[in-house]
């Protein structure tokens, strides 16, 4: 059955289509345009969204958990609750993200998260795009809360072990390019279409350039767990902010990065190269208290999550990150939406999500003019 979705405006997000209609069939977009230009198929089922904004579904590429569930260790039911929790905030696709842990724990988590994709036929949940390995190839100097005893020097051989444990289901990897063995590991991962993200790094400018030349194409939570910017040694931050061939993500919760620095980041990376992430923990949506991140405990007070006094992830949601950018900057909502939809899809190499275009998956989030989520629509579960 063909479905016609109408809205006051659709942000594709590269353009704004007023009085929009989107025709969907079998979970894919057939056509999109102003109602005056689109022929409505006979017998189509209408979903009329009135004065709302239709956006592509949000894409979360760095998340550790939520709704009380940690992605390193959860049940089938826990995964289902977590993925439904994501749709409350407009997220339709995500990358389950690991945290540095003993190898046996990491291998088990990779295997579990890969198998979990086939556990259920429930189509009302956010869908995993592939795993994000955050660790263990991180700098001791910039490890954040990642346990130092579990950090490893990167090597193609060790990456291959992770790859096999995940059955090739690795979409993204954070790595410090200055570590011995990092460049060869980056080359191997990039050759397998993994988005290699430079982060948790004390790299100099030259070491960063070598990491990019080897296949690094992205940067993890810019400013956090990175060598500080210096006018004589710009380091990793200087290259990430300057290089237009590198996309970069940021945690826009007002805690990890000052709003003025978020604005600076957006000026440097622009509309096409900036990505919003949450780095969210199991504590997200749960209020204050003590929660788990992998094997260690995190204390949450308001928007601040700490372990032994060090920032440890967030309780940010992606829809709130979108609204925060509007508070921090003068960017219009359409431009901000691109940072949570098309840009993360491009970073991962996906061409059929993150946009409203013929052939793309019919995953949408319905917003009001303030960027608040009214409804999430999954293409293979349109009621």
* pLDDT per position as a tens digit, 173-195: 999 999 999 999 999 999 999 99
Sign for the CA dihedral angle at 52, 352, 167, 212 comes to negative
Higher pLDDT, 156 or 306: 156
Higher pLDDT, 358 or 120: 358
Tell me the CA distances in angstroms from 291 to 15, 112, 146, 286, 297, one per residue in order: 41, 21, 16, 9, 6
pLDDT tens per residue across span 243-286: 999 999 999 999 999 999 999 999 999 999 999 999 999 999 99
pLDDT band at 122 (very low <50, low <70, confident <90, very high): low
pTM of the complete model beyond 0.85: yes
The CATH-assigned architecture of domain 2-54+361-381 is Roll (2.30)
Distance CA 112, CA 106 (A): 10
Q: Which of 70, 249, 253, 279 is catalytic?
A: 279
pLDDT band at 78 (very low <50, low <70, confident <90, very high): confident
Sketch the domain layout of the chain as residue ranges: 2-54+361-381, 58-348
CATH 3.40.50.1820 fits 58-348, yes or no: no
Mean pLDDT over each residue of the chain, to the nearest integer: 94
303 in catalytic set: no
pLDDT band at 124 (very low <50, low <70, confident <90, very high): confident
Task: Write down the pLDDT at residue 112.
Answer: 85
pLDDT band at 383 (very low <50, low <70, confident <90, very high): low
């Amino acid at each position: 059955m063909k479905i016609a979705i109408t809205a006051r405006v659709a942000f594709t997000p590269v353009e704004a289509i007023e009085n929009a209609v989107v025709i969907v069939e079998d979970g894919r977009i057939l056509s999109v345009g102003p109602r005056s230009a689109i022929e409505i198929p006979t017998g189509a089922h209408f979903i009329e969204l009135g004065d709302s904004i239709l956006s592509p579904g949000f894409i979360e590429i760095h998340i550790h958990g939520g709704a009380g569930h940690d992605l390193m260790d959860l049940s089938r039911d826990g995964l289902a609750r977590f993925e439904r929790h994501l749709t409350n905030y407009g997220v339709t696709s995500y990358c389950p993200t690991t945290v540095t842990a003993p190898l046996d724990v990491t291998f088990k988590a990779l295997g579990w998260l890969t198998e979990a994709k086939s556990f259920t036929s429930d189509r009302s949940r956010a869908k995993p795009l592939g795993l994000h390995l955050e660790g263990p190839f991180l700098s001791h100097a910039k490890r954040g809360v990642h346990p130092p005893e579990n950090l490893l020097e990167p090597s193609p051989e060790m990456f291959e072990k992770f790859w096999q444990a995940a059955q090739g289901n690795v979409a993204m990897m954070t790595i410090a390019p200055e570590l011995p063995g990092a460049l060869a590991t980056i080359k191997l991962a990039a050759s397998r279409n993994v988005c290699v993200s430079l982060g948790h790094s004390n790299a100099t400018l030259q070491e960063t350039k070598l990491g990019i030349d080897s296949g690094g194409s992205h940067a993890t939570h810019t400013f956090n767990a990175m060598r500080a910017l210096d006018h004589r040694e710009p380091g990793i931050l200087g290259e990430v902010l300057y290089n237009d061939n590198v996309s970069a993500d940021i945690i826009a919760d007002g805690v990890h990065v000052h709003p003025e620095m978020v604005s600076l980041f957006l000026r440097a990376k622009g509309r096409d190269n900036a990505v919003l992430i949450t780095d969210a923990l199991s504590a997200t949506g749960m209020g204050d208290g003590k929660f788990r991140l992998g094997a260690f405990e995190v204390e949450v007070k308001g928007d601040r999550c700490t372990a032994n006094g060090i920032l440890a992830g967030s309780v940010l949601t992606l829809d709130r990150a979108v609204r925060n950018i509007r508070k921090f900057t003068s960017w219009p909502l359409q431009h901000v939406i691109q940072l949570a939809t098309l840009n993360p899809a491009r970073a991962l190499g996906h061409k059929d999500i993150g946009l409203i275009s013929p052939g793309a998956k019919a995953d949408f989030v319905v917003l009001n003019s303030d960027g608040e989520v009214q409804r999430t629509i999954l293409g293979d579960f349109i009621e």
